[in-house]
Amino acid sequence: MQRREFSLSAATVAAAATWGGVALPTAAQAQARAFKEGSDYLTLGKPAPTDVPAGQVEVVEFFWYSCPHCNAFEPALEAWIQKAPKDVTVRRVPVAFRPDFEPQQRLFYVLEGMGKLNDLHKKVFNAIHVERQALNTGDQVAAWAEKQGLNKARFVEMYNSFSVSTKARKATQLQDTYAVDGVPALGIGGRFYTSGQLAQNMDRALQVTDYLIGQSRKAK
């Protein structure tokens, strides 16, 4: 979903067409293809900060819970993560193209801070895209979290905390550094950027990512 499309109402976005089925690529397939800078991926003019130890390659997935394409991409990304090399670290970053994206951005970081992200990340997507729940405000996400068994008072406290505010701000800064123009999108090694728009689909974007991981290793 391209950034310009986010001017649509949440209801319209929820009804938008999703990506088709995404096949899991292999490293061999990625290395066998010649991907082109400027068409399949972009090189950042200024490197983006990474949050991994030396010797690791960071892959950032930029997403929005209400994006139908991100929801459709999630199973393929999970499968790709399971087979990722040991020197690859994947980090999810929720975007905020508009102020009304922030409640879901904060939801992600509260779940992370409460140690519930692994349990509830997929359930957020399911609540929005299958159950058609509105999770667009602080009150709505807090009520949803309480239904998942989380302590509402603690959730609200963390939601409004300096720590979560800082993480949300840094997420938006990273989104801007990578010049993210739609989601889902992938940042690689603080140096490269690809997306379904650039690579033609998210299947191919994962193949491009495999290739760019190799390029990132060479640069170290």
Average pLDDT score over the chain: 89
**Segment 191-212 mean pLDDT:** 97
- Cα 33 to chain centroid distance, Å, stands at 25
The one-character DSSP state at 182 is B
Confidence of residue 189 (pLDDT cuts 50, 70, 90): very high
Supply the Cα-derived Rg of the chain in whole angstroms.
Answer: 17
Q: Is the pLDDT of residue 176 over 70?
A: yes
Q: Is the pLDDT of residue 87 over 60?
A: yes
Kindly give, in sequence order, each residue whose CB lies less than 8 Å from that of residue 78, ignoring residues fewer than 6 positions away.
none
Prediction pTM value: 0.86
Confidence of residue 29 (pLDDT cuts 50, 70, 90): low
- Cα 204 to chain centroid distance, Å, stands at 17
Confidence of residue 153 (pLDDT cuts 50, 70, 90): very high
Domain 25-219: which CATH number of 3.40.50.1100, 3.40.190.10, 3.40.30.10, 3.40.50.2300: 3.40.30.10
Find out whether 217 and 83 touch, Cβ atoms under 8 Å: no
